[in-house]
A and B are shown apart, each in its own frame.
Chain A
Amino acid sequence: DIVMTQSPDSLAVSLGERATINCKSSLSVLYSSNNRNYLCWYQQKPGQPPKLLISWASARESGVPERFSGSGSGTDFTLTISSLQAEDVAVYYCQQYYDSFRTFGQGTKVEIK
Chain B
Amino acid sequence: QVQLQESGPGLVKPSETLSLTCTVSGDSFSSYYWIWIRQPPGKALEWIGQIYYTGSTIYNPFLKSRVTISVDRPNKQLSLKLNSLTAADTAVYYCARQKLGENTPIDCWGQGTLVTVSS
Q: How many residues of A contact B (CB 8 A)?
A: 24
- Closest Cβ of chain B: how far from A28's Cβ, in Å? 14
Interface of A is mostly: loop
Q: Which of B44, B104, B110, B112 contacts A104 (CB 8 A)?
A: B44
Contacts of A38 in B (CB 8 A): 103
User: In the complex, what's the smallest C-beta–C-beta distance from A55 to chain B, in angstroms?
Assistant: 5
B109, A50: Cβ atoms under 8 Å?
yes
Binary interface profile of B, 42-58, with partner A (CB < 8 Å = 1, else 0)?
00111100100000001
What's the minimum C-beta distance from B110 to chain A, rounded to whole angstroms? 7
* Nearest Cβ on chain A to B20's Cβ, whole angstroms: 15
Complex alpha-carbon distance, A9 and B73, angstroms: 40
Q: For chains A and B in complex, what number of residue pairs have CB atoms within 8 angstroms?
A: 51
Residue of A nearest to B95 (CB): A49
Residues of B within 8 A of A68 (CB): none
Tell me the complex Cα distance, A42–B46, Å: 13
Interface residues on B, range: 20 to 34
Cα(A32)–Cα(B101), bound, Å: 18
Note all chain A residues with C-beta closer than 8 A to B60: 101
Chain B 83-105 residues near chain A, CB threshold 8 A: 94, 96, 98-99, 103-105
Please list 21 pairs of residues, one from A and one from B, whose beta carbons are closer than 8 Å in the complex, sorted by A's number. Answer: A1-B61, A38-B103, A48-B111, A49-B94, A49-B112, A50-B106, A50-B109, A51-B109, A52-B106, A52-B107, A55-B104, A61-B107, A95-B45, A95-B105, A97-B98, A98-B103, A101-B60, A102-B35, A102-B47, A104-B46, A104-B47
